[in-house]
């Protein structure tokens, strides 16, 4: 009896030891799998971030090239070559990055660009693909641009003169009754009068492609404005009393309901303001006046701009953007727009019967000066692939 019991105890001990061994082996196996899964997840996450970084790098380069006027097939080819891959891999400063493959191609229609970046991190590979569409290509390098006609006409008998230093474009036609020379490229979707010349090194291009203009939503500008005024008097009083606070280098949005007369802000500081006028802007003052936009440019957004004064006015670092017409017809005192531009989204630009000197100089600014106003691009698609 005793020997039999001892045999059963031995068998039970062996079975128990076997069960413990199996259990420990299972726990160890599961732990190993969990560690591997966790490591794979971490590797995949890092590969994703690096792939996204590659795409964002390509996008930034494309947008900068568009602003500088260098966005062409040669640029895209260089952006997608092996030297860029090596640059990105080195910049990540991570020895576990096995390879980087960045590709950039044009999309199926104009101004679309597809960027893909595949990153292998240890044994995990992720690929990000993003397509963007540049919204207003070619607009921001224009000193003047309009949906309608650009009318150029000087009254030489009264000392009229036009000095245009920069590119101009009309989605209609550009007309002139007098011989005018422009220091810049001249293009129109329609015709360009033969009286318009361009100086050496520039071009005159009729039947050109249309330009696109940003939409103006006065309600949206009102919603984003820090300061909203029912009329111009309230706005001017707020300026005089120092009630409008601005931050250097940033833009403060101001919304004014009704018409606005520029003479009312003579001598007041409006640097770094984006002024939206839900009405017409009237250029009328009784003494010489300078409006300086400062580092980010002053932007005047309105339905129309109408000139009706007899004193000099200078716009420095200013953009005039109208929903309809910008009209300096019958201008009888010097007007200067320095380092700025005039855009008429749905109307014409009128420079007719100019009796003094109208000067506009675009300068070297680009989209970054108006990035607070309008989006430069739109994302068309985005995808993430695990390989």
Beta bridge partners, 97, equal: 121
Q: Give dist(CA 299, CA 214) in Å, integer.
A: 14
- Environment class of residue 253 by beta-carbon count within 10 Å: exposed (0-12), middle (13-18) or buried (19+)? buried
Tens-place pLDDT, residues 311-339: 788 999 999 999 999 999 999 899 999 99
Domain assignment present for residue 292? The answer is yes
Tell me how far CA of residue 229 lies from CA of 225, 232, 286, 298, in angstroms.
Answer: 10, 7, 25, 18
Q: Are 305 and 329 in contact (CB under 8 A)?
A: no
Is the same domain home to 248 and 126? Answer: no
Domain assignment present for residue 1? The answer is no
Beta bridge partners, 301, equal: 276, 321
Is the same domain home to 153 and 281? Answer: yes
Is the same domain home to 322 and 339? Answer: yes
Decide if pLDDT at 257 tops 60: yes
Residue 373: band (very low, low, confident or very high) from pLDDT cuts 50, 70, 90:
confident
Domain assignment present for residue 56? The answer is yes
Tens-place pLDDT, residues 207-244: 999 999 999 899 999 999 999 999 999 999 999 999 99
Domain assignment present for residue 3? The answer is no
Pair of tokens at residue 110:
């104009």
Domain that holds residue 264: 142-369
Is the same domain home to 382 and 309? Answer: no
Domain assignment present for residue 171? The answer is yes
- Check residues 54 and 296 and name the one with the higher pLDDT: 54
Number of domains in the chain: 2
pTM (two decimals):
0.82
Domain assignment present for residue 5? The answer is no
Mean pLDDT rounded to a whole number for the chain? 89
Determine the average pLDDT of the residues in 293-317.
Answer: 86
Pair of tokens at residue 358:
């109208």
Tens-place pLDDT, residues 74-84: 999 999 999 99
Is the same domain home to 38 and 183? Answer: no
Quote the pLDDT of residue 296. Answer: 74
Is the same domain home to 217 and 334? Answer: yes
CATH number of the domain encompassing residue 39: 3.30.1300.30
Tell me how far CA of residue 274 lies from CA of 79, 247, 322, in angstroms.
Answer: 35, 13, 13
Quote the pLDDT of residue 120. Answer: 95
Q: Give dist(CA 387, CA 383) in Å, integer.
A: 13
The CA R_g of the chain, rounded to the nearest whole Å, is 32
Domain assignment present for residue 192? The answer is yes
Quote the pLDDT of residue 87. Answer: 95
Is the same domain home to 318 and 212? Answer: yes
Q: Give dist(CA 209, CA 215) in Å, integer.
A: 19
Is the same domain home to 170 and 233? Answer: yes
Q: Give dist(CA 47, CA 333) in Å, integer.
A: 63
| Nearest in space to 343 (alpha carbons), one of 139, 198, 75 | 139
Is the same domain home to 125 and 146? Answer: no
Q: Give dist(CA 355, CA 33) in Å, integer.
A: 84
Domain assignment present for residue 7? The answer is no
Is the same domain home to 74 and 185? Answer: no
Pair of tokens at residue 28:
């160890």
Calculate the CA 148 to chain-centre distance. 24
Q: Give dist(CA 130, CA 115) in Å, integer.
A: 5
Is the same domain home to 356 and 381? Answer: no
Is the same domain home to 185 and 127? Answer: no
Decide if pLDDT at 206 tops 90: yes
């Amino acid at each position: 009896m005793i020997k039999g019991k001892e045999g059963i105890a031995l068998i039970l001990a062996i079975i128990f030891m076997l069960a413990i061994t199996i259990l420990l082996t299972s726990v160890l196996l599961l732990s190993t799998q969990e560690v591997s899964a966790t490591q794979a997840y971490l590797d995949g996450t890092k590969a994703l971030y690096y792939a996204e970084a590659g795409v964002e790098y390509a996008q930034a380069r494309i947008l900068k090239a568009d602003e500088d006027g260098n966005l062409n097939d040669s640029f895209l080819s260089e952006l997608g070559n092996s030297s860029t891959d090596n640059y990105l891999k080195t910049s990540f400063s991570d020895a576990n990055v096995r390879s980087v493959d960045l590709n950039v191609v044009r999309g199926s229609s104009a101004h679309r660009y597809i960027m893909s970046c595949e990153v292998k991190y240890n044994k995990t590979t992720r690929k990000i693909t993003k397509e963007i569409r540049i919204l207003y290509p070619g607009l921001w390098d224009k000193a003047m641009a309009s949906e309608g006609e650009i009318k150029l006409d000087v009254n030489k008998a009264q000392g009229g003169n036009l000095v245009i230093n920069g590119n101009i474009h009309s989605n209609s036609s550009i007309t002139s009754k007098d011989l005018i020379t422009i220091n810049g490229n001249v293009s129109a979707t329609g015709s360009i009068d033969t009286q318009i010349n361009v100086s050496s090194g520039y071009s005159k291009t009729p039947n050109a492609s249309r330009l696109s203009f940003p939409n103006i939503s006065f309600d949206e500008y009102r919603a984003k404005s820090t300061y909203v005024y029912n009329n111009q008097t309230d706005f001017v009083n707020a300026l005089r009393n120092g009630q409008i606070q601005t931050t250097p280098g940033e833009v403060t949005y101001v919304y004014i309901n009704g018409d606005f007369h520029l003479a009312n802000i003579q001598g007041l500081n409006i640097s770094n303001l984006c002024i939206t006028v839900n009405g017409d802007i009237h250029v009328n003052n009784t003494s010489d006046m300078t409006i300086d936009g400062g580092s980010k440019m002053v932007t005047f957004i309105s339905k129309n701009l109408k000139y009706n004064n007899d004193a000099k006015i200078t716009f420095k670092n200013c953009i005039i953007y109208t929903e309809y017409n910008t009209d300096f017809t019958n201008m009888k005192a010097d007007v200067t727009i320095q380092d700025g531009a005039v855009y008429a989204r749905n109307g014409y630009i009128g420079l007719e019967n100019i009796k003094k000197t109208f000067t506009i100089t675009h300068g070297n600014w680009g989209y970054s000066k108006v990035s607070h106003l309008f989006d430069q691009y739109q994302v068309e698609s985005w995808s993430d692939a695990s390989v």
